[in-house]
Amino acid sequence: MPGYVRQMRTLLLLSSLHWTAPARAGDVLVVTSVPVQVELNGAPVVRTAAAGEVTLRDVEAGERTFVIKRAGSEANVAVRVPAAGAARIDISADAVETDSPAAVKPVYAAPPVVVFRAAAGQRFSIVVAGARLGVAAGDAPLVLEGLGSGQHEVQIRSEDDLTIWARGVLMLEGGDQLQLDCEEGRIVRATGRDGAWKPR
């Protein structure tokens, strides 16, 4: 569709960077009518500033979960990538569709929210992926709304950062609302979707 392609103002294909094709791999055709970012395994593979289409080459065969982000919201879509041939994802302003038989999760769920609560009289420094994002206090929980879907390494430290009280991995999905209750010398108690917090 040459005319359609000419209307694309910006289309960046990122999957070819540092990418080694797996032994059994297929293609995924992404067709969007809106600006969008598509992520796979926590990394962006497609980013558009307008409507367009792009083919992701050599995606490992099997069920793969893509995160579709647009306009401050996101959706997780599970696509069954064939060992040969191509699967397709169609993205519009209010829906995501795929010709794959894999299940599609709720469309454009709200971004995940994680609340760190400290025991009364205690204060903890919250470090995510090596960056100190704030302090959770007994009377002032720390609310994180910008982490996004995917895996996030977490350390719960003393406020002076000298003691690590707990470590774990957040496995976030769109729509998650997770609360982590922190107390010195005790295991972190997680409330929310099962499997969203994995202690280490």
Q: Could you tell me the residue ranges of all domains in the chain?
A: 2-98, 113-199
Tell me if the domain spanning 113-199 has CATH number 3.30.160: no
Q: Dump pLDDT digits (tens) for 115-145.
A: 999 999 999 999 999 999 999 998 999 999 8
pTM of the predicted model as reported, rounded to 2 decimal places: 0.53
Q: Which residues of the chain have pLDDT under 70?
A: 1-23, 101-109
C-alpha distances in Å from residue 136, one per residue of 26, 71, 91, 125, 193: 45, 29, 38, 7, 21
The answer for residues whose C-beta is within 8 angstroms of residue 3's C-beta and 6 or more apart is none
The CATH homologous superfamily of the domain defined by 2-98: Immunoglobulins (2.60.40.10)
